[in-house]
């Protein structure tokens, strides 16, 4: 388990990396020229850093973003620093299942392979709102949109892994906040009830859902014998646009916990490590923090809860058709 000492000092764990490691350091020497990666939320923050570093290592990167102006600017920035980078942009609003389907359709029409899917985008601590499909917004954006996106792209990932012999990898960005959720973990019955809503617990619920999704998908893929791993990560505490709804509170917390915070290159390190590092070949259904395996909340290991969430998510997706 990642300890406080390692977190604040950056002392490396068993992987050889730690909280001070950057995305460039954990991918040093990597040849990703045969890989194609989709990164949701790849136009800003740690998503952009992940896109930059994977492109630097030669991967063909698809930036999936709601704001296309930001996506174009991100592409221009990456090309400015790396003229040989292979970057494409496709619009994706994860809070709209229609948009998720349109993204998948556009990507599949490009007839590209797909080796890596990084479910990075998210929102945090927002006031109670319903998505365009009538689903609580944090759950809809952070979990359900990624759930549908992953399912729509899964056959492409399976066929790519089979034809190339290269292991496919799916990475769900969770958070240490998954420890702070509703009592049962996922508040199925009151998901859309504003009277039961807590912006902090709803965020924790969506981040717990990211881990449960990874575990249940991993179980299903192992049963099939598919050459794809699915893991979840906590990137660390990083000040990004994700915190726009709680900027004052987070800045106040940062004053007292400044030793635990990371910069953006450090924040993208665990994602890049789990998505690409050779040492993790065959490793699946795990939770990582500071580039090392860590122990999630006990609810994250509840197989029944994971299966219930999968069925619940399928029903929500079907009801939005």
User: DSSP code of 142?
Assistant: I
Instruction: Name residue, tokens 């399976």.
Output: 158
Q: Please enumerate in sequence order all residues whose Cβ is within 8 A of that of 184, keeping only pairs 6 or more positions apart, or say none.
A: none
Laid out side by side, the sheet with 116-119 consists of 86-91, 60-65, 36-40, 116-119, 168-173, 228-234, 287-289, 292-294
What's the rounded Cα separation, in Å, for the pair 166 and 157? 10
Instruction: Please say if 182 is a catalytic residue.
Output: no
What's the rounded Cα separation, in Å, for the pair 219 and 262? 32
What's the rounded Cα separation, in Å, for the pair 250 and 207? 18
Instruction: Name residue, tokens 């049963």.
Output: 223
Q: Check 11, 182, 197, 258 and give the catalytic one.
A: 197
Residues marked as catalytic = 197
């Amino acid at each position: 388990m990642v300890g406080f000492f390692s977190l604040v000092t950056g002392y490396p764990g068993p992987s050889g990396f730690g909280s001070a490691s950057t995305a460039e350091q954990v991918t040093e020497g990597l040849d990703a020229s045969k890989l194609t990666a989709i990164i949701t939320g790849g136009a800003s923050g740690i998503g952009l850093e992940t896109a930059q570093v994977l492109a630097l290592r030669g991967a063909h990167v698809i930036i999936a973003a709601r704001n296309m102006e930001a996506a174009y600017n991100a592409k221009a920035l990456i090309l400015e620093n790396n003229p040989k980078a292979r970057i494409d942009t496709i619009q994706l609003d994860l809070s709209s299942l229609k948009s998720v389907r349109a993204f998948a359709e556009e990507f599949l029409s490009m007839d590209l392979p797909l080796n890596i899917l990084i479910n990075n985008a998210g929102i945090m601590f927002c006031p109670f709102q319903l998505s365009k499909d009538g689903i609580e917004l944090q759950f809809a954006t952070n979990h359900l949109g990624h759930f549908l996106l992953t399912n729509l792209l899964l056959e492409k990932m399976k066929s790519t892994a089979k034809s190339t012999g290269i292991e496919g990898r799916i990475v769900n960005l969770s958070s240490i906040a998954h420890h702070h959720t509703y009592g049962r973990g996922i508040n199925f019955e009151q998901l859309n009830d504003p009277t039961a809503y807590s912006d902090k617990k709803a965020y924790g619920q969506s981040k717990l859902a990211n881990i449960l999704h990874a575990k249940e998908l991993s179980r299903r893929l192992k049963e099939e014998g598919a050459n794809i791993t699915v893991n979840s990560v906590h990137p660390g505490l990083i000040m990004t646009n994700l915190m726009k709804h709680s900027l004052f509170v987070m800045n106040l917390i940062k004053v007292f916990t400044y030793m635990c915070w990371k910069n953006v290159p450090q924040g993208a390190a665990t994602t890049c490590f789990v998505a690409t590092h050779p040492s993790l070949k065959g490793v699946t259904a795990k939770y990582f923090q500071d580039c090392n395996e860590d122990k999630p909340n006990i609810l994250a290991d509840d197989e029944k809860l994971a299966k219930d969430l999968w069925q619940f998510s399928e029903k929500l997706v079907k009801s939005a058709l």
